[in-house]
Chain A
Amino acid sequence: MKFLNFLIILSAAIALTFTSCKKDDDHDDTDHLHEGNVTIDFDHVWGATEEAFSLNKELTHPMLNEKMTFNIFKYYVSNVRLKAKDGSWYAMPESYFIVDADPSGSNLVTIPNVPGGEYTDVEMTFGMDSTRNTSGAQSGVLDPAKGMFWSWNSGYIMLKAEGTAPTAANGTFTFHLGGFKGENKVQTTKSYNFGTTALVVDGDREAEIHMVANPARLWHGAEKLSVKSVNTMPNALAKSMSSNYYDAVRFDHIHN
């Protein structure tokens, strides 16, 4: 009996030990809803008609009136936060994602272990905070081997769009957009309100946020591909193209 008591105490002690190493990420969760995952789905559409966008599909840009076929379209999204009904925020730690139109990657951003509750807003940064651009070698989704980091001018490529276009100089277009400082800073934080219906996080219950993004917007205000088909460094064009794209990303609906 004594031994059993001891075992109970011991296991409690071990449990305590393990929890003592964890970071304090407790969230006041007074109601009955359970922790769950939230998924943000980026639906890519093309132009004013919002036809389906996909790689390796010939598209016509409605403003440039030039044909283009993407073979790369991806961008960083970081620092995702959710606003609860009571006005408090849940910020996902280490929140960095590459949204990729290629099926080998993903157009989904998954926020794991969100405290159970009802949420009214999502906030995210397109691109990346400047700290990560100046902190040396990173890993995971921030690994420079992902091809989204400039070797010669340190900083992340925050959006990459490449493909072929018959009107472009070499028949190809290459846009690597980024920049984290000064007037060429392209990272942009945006917040979206879900309107009347709240996003409910409750264990395995589906909690999806659907966003619509339109790559054609990159060339709103940019020159024709026959004039300019390459831009691979932080500059005013990178700033204006990425801003035009980010500004047009919109919240569409939630799935509960």
Chain B
Amino acid sequence: MIRHKIRFLLFFLLIWGTSCQKDQDKSDFGLAYPDYFPEPYYKFGKNTLTKEGFELGRALFFDPILSIDSTISCASCHSQGHAFADHNTRMSFGIDGKMGDRNSPAMFNLAWQPIFMWDGGINHIEVMPFAPITNDVEMGETLENVIEKLKKHPKYVQRFQSVFGEKPIESQQLFYALTQYMTMLVSDDSKYDQYRQGKVSFTKDEEDGLQIFKAKCASCHTEPLFTDFSLRNNGLEILGDDFGFGRITLHEEDNYKFKVPSLRNIALTYPYMHDGRFRTLEQVLDHYSQGIVSHPNLDKNLISNGKLGIPMSDVEKQKIITFLQTLTDYTFISNPIFSE
């Protein structure tokens, strides 16, 4: 009888143990970042980060199955060697050779990013991939059809089940997996980071560049992520009818505002601006020093003493560029765990 009791007791404990608790993380796989980074903005919540989930997201990121004719993957326009920007093209090509109307942004440190797209129209990383998947000139697909294709793909069915459990694939799982991959793209091993961690020292010019940068650029390109994630009108000449944030809010005071991009890996991600109009960092700095065009909602950081632009000498510009080159993260762009 005693033995029976023990057996029942064990059975009872087993039920109790499994019924309430969710599976614990299978490993210590997680989002790692230096102590001078702020807390990530994205909270994984129901989207439990696992190695399998990350790897599924990676497979999807590199798979043209997400496009209508299986020609375009996320990686087509977001290439690791370019810090996940496009291959230094001004605009990107989608299905049928169709061309987009903005420059593909780089992708890293996205767990810290509260808004997405140049115009800030997307309010959450999980729904970010919905835009390129369904955009007519990018992947041209419907979400419904992507899910149908994944459901017919034995490899994916098995992988989704191992990550999300035995239930039919839904877009939420697709978005969760892609989000796991995207948020793990942390760029934190540039020379600047090694300098911050006391592992290397800066040259005189790099050090000077950092100080000038802090004085002239850091009010928008705030350390350590090198953006404050705001949307601003940075005084570009109006070319075309891209109203940026104004297209989202329909408020005139938001016209021609675009998201402040991070300057990490900036040397790799030319051309610059939302429309890729500048090919070099020299051109960008020339714009900020003497190319600013007046707009009613021009960012006030671009006016000093009643004059348009940020005053910078040629020597100062050269030193800023020397500093910006320390933001290139070679570990990140060659890290095999981010590769196909």
Contacts and interface: CB of A to CB of B under 8 A. Distances in A.
A238 to B, nearest CB: 11
A227 interface: no
B170 interface: yes
B15 A139 contact: no
A143 B172 contact: yes
B12 A10 contact: yes
A135 B19 contact: no
Interface in A1-28: 2-3, 6-7, 10, 13-14, 17-18, 20-21
B127 A149 contact: yes
Contacts, number: 86
B86 interface: no
Q: Chain B at the A interface: mostly helix, strand, loop or mixed?
A: helix
B124 A14 contact: no
B127 A21 contact: no
A144 B12 contact: no
Interface in B162-202: 170-172, 175-176, 179
A14 B170 contact: no
A45 B134 CA distance: 34
A72 to B, nearest CB: 15
B19 A134 contact: no
A235 interface: yes
Given A154-B123, A235-B250, A145 B8 contact: no
A10 B15 CA distance: 12
B222 to A, nearest CB: 24
A145 B126 CA distance: 14
Nearest to B174: A137
A147 B249 CA distance: 22
Given A14-B15, A18-B19, A137-B175, A154 B121 contact: yes
B217 interface: no
Contact of A17 (B16, B117, B122): B16
Interface string B116-145: 010001111111001101110000001110
Contact of B20 (A13, A21, A139, A155): A21
Interface size bucket, A side?
20 to 34
B273 to A, nearest CB: 20
Contact of B170 (A13, A20, A136, A145): A145
A136 B19 contact: no
B12 A14 contact: yes
Interface in A134-184: 134-139, 143-145, 147, 149, 151-155, 182, 184
B4 interface: yes
Contacts of B147: 145
Contacts of B170: 139, 143, 145
Nearest to B176: A137
A152 B121 CA distance: 6
A31 to B, nearest CB: 33
A184 B248 CA distance: 12
Contacts of B131: 151-152
7 contacts: A6-B5, A13-B12, A14-B12, A137-B179, A139-B172, A143-B143, A152-B135
The 4 closest A-B pairs by CB, nearest first: A136-B126, A137-B175, A137-B126, A145-B143
Interface of A: 2-3, 6-7, 10, 13-14, 17-18, 20-21, 133-139, 143-145, 147, 149, 151-155, 182, 184, 233-235
